[in-house]
Structure 1
């Protein structure tokens, strides 16, 4: 289980991004973290994955733990080695490298060459578009294809926990649904997923649990079905009933249909 225990984060000398946040991501489930711009969602992910210092942030209090062990302050590579992978906002693929080289980079921390080859083979089989374009520069892929590549690059390290930061940002509605299906399929393999999103309809439509963050604080936390029915959540984030949004809760989209 991934747990945030009264976590506080500051940028610079006085900008408080998170204020004593406590929440957990149960094993084998999808947890959605929603909130507006500047709520602290990305900061939460950076604190968990060990990249906070690269963005000028520091943990001012509290801890992040994985399976009961404190990982606060560990290096990013050390956290990946413990089974947690962060797919950051904006995809951050290596545009000048090939699709295949991007995937291989994701498996750099895996010591077993046999394991790397196995996972790579599974990914290329599940995503024919990546197999077809494995020799192409990654920067030439469409936005949706780049997002799938970013997620698959994270899968290359065989993680137990995946943090996905705004995976549908800037994508067309049809592509959003496909990415949502990919997230569900990843979770169906037993991987714990934490998805940070402004697209609350998508996130709560596929999640088991949800947390709403405002100004660095947790204001709501419950089962996703309860949050979907909350009048406050609908008014602030959904613009109405989620039945009209197009995301059937827990409706898994097959990976084989990925063609974007």
Structure 2
């Protein structure tokens, strides 16, 4: 199964090379979306975590696809299938694939021209701090991300759970082929972890089909994904989104 995972990593590298040439059509965007879905599904079945460089390339592929140069191509593609919306679900699954293999309290950040992604893994019984995204003091930030006024705040109270569940009853099989930088030590059977991912999309709000009726304010899209889902708690998630387009 390791060979299958390595083969998928090579597909991601090849796809990135093709997209960097910027000579493709609307159907190629949908085909690339399907490739990324199959790659992610194969990684999960093969219990294989790609190397950090290949993880970066995966996000770079999505970033190239979401470039505003492809706006007209996406408009054509959306006549056939909701490809850009499907990309959001694929990224969510990929984030949890990577996050499940991270060491506890480890944080992973990637910033591209059109995406900012953070992934962290926290014990259910001891989430270390409130979640603030983006953290603008982090190294490697691009100007668009550093100057963004969009904010996500999740108080750690949201993650409070008073029950313990055996990992062997709820979790998928232990990953067997992972890159050393993501390896974790064997965990106690009573230890359970949150994987928390957040994505700030620079361009997706302009690429997705316009809502009906049209929105008065259009903003960047900021998503957060948490598995397992925490119990409802107060206060809840707080979002602050800066407007991109105002329509009177």
**TM-score, with structure 1 as normaliser:** 0.27
Q: 1 or 2 for the larger relative contact order (CA 8 Å, sep ≥6)? A: 1
Which structure's CA Rg is the greater one? 2
**TM-score, with structure 2 as normaliser:** 0.27
